[in-house]
Homo-oligomer: A and B are copies of this chain.
């Protein structure tokens, strides 16, 4: 599928979905739309992902099948300055795919236009209708379940999930990512965006995902969401922790980050303490030790990054890596799988 990725003003640093698709998706990205970096190319900003031109608006995008909204503001609402690009896409006959809390299909202009131009509006966050409370049965699946958990939002959980999956596959393990967020659902073509589910059913949604994926794979890497000590999203995190009943946890952290992103008066606990907190909360439901760590060292020079990973591993007392920068070695993979 040929797509364009909308990422106005936030590419690449705060365009998690756009970068995730560029790195792990099998879609062919024909353009990124960002008025701030228009004229550059993707690889000018992010190495080792598929390259594409960055353009100013949908008017400058070559023929594509779909426009994908590749960014999400806090709260997940639609941003009105995106409207002309979405309108143009529909008028050109493209589907529009978004993972927002407010649904494109509920927008009167877009739904009318989409009907006129025979386009699909795909809201990835729209949950299945038949969810219910967790039965507490995910621990019985015939697969190993690893959950990536974080010290904050945007701490590398999805990236760690895919890098671990790829490393496991490279060694012959039948591994799959269990997608719980909009980017994962977009990349995998299935899944449930757990943060959009009725709170009472969030653990049940994750349980269903794990039980479904376990039918086809030996190692499941469940993409975590939020963080256990996050002022707004901790409920989603806890639901995933208890719904998935993981065998092992991988703790994801961003080098140098000391406060919760967007909640600067809330300090992130020391990583070893944070790992223990995850284990303690998991314990009544699942015996799930933190067996490895991943560290996003993007902001550091190579030597400092190397030192930061060593320090992080020492603090946690388990193997650690920056999977994008340094890959996943056999020692780390052994403890995870």
CA distance A235 to B241 in the complex (A): 9
Cβ of A231 within 8 Å of any chain B Cβ, yes or no, is yes
Q: Could you tell me the distance in whole angstroms from the C-beta of A322 to the nearest C-beta in chain B?
A: 24
Q: Could you tell me the distance in whole angstroms from the C-beta of A184 to the nearest C-beta in chain B?
A: 16
CA distance A144 to B138 in the complex (A): 40
Cβ of A228 within 8 Å of any chain B Cβ, yes or no, is yes
Q: Could you tell me the distance in whole angstroms from the C-beta of A252 to the nearest C-beta in chain B?
A: 17
Cβ of A8 within 8 Å of any chain B Cβ, yes or no, is no
Stretch at the interface among A11-19, A156-164, A260-268, A324-332: A260-268
CA distance A239 to B200 in the complex (A): 11
By the criterion CB–CB under 8 Å, are A200 and B236 in contact? yes
Contact of A198 among B74, B101, B231, B263 (CB under 8 A): B101
Cβ of A290 within 8 Å of any chain B Cβ, yes or no, is no
Q: Which residues of chain B are within 8 angstroms of A101 by Cβ–Cβ distance? A: 198, 200
CA distance A266 to B265 in the complex (A): 36
Question: When A196-B199, A199-B199, A200-B195 are in contact, do A281 and B232 touch as well, CB less than 8 Å?
Answer: no
Q: Which residues of chain B are within 8 angstroms of A203 by Cβ–Cβ distance? A: 231-235
By the criterion CB–CB under 8 Å, are A236 and B285 in contact? no
By the criterion CB–CB under 8 Å, are A195 and B198 in contact? yes
Interface string of A215-238 (1 = CB under 8 A from B): 000000000000011111111111
Q: Could you tell me the distance in whole angstroms from the C-beta of A164 to the nearest C-beta in chain B?
A: 24
CA distance A198 to B131 in the complex (A): 13
By the criterion CB–CB under 8 Å, are B199 and A195 in contact? yes
Question: When A267-B284, A281-B277 are in contact, do A134 and B231 touch as well, CB less than 8 Å?
Answer: yes
Of A77, A235, A284, most B-chain CB atoms within 10 Å:
A235
Of A74, A75, A197, A269, most B-chain CB atoms within 10 Å:
A75
Cβ of A242 within 8 Å of any chain B Cβ, yes or no, is yes
Who on chain B is nearest to A263 by CB?
B136
A residues apposed to B, CB below 8 Å: 74-77, 101, 132-136, 194-200, 202-204, 228-239, 241-243, 263, 265-269, 277, 280-281, 283-285
A-B interface, 10 closest residue pairs, ranked by CB to CB distance from nearest = A235-B239, A229-B284, A136-B231, A195-B200, A134-B232, A235-B235, A238-B238, A133-B232, A199-B202, A199-B199
| Cβ contacts A to B, 6 pairs, < 8 Å | A195-B200, A199-B199, A200-B232, A230-B242, A269-B283, A269-B284
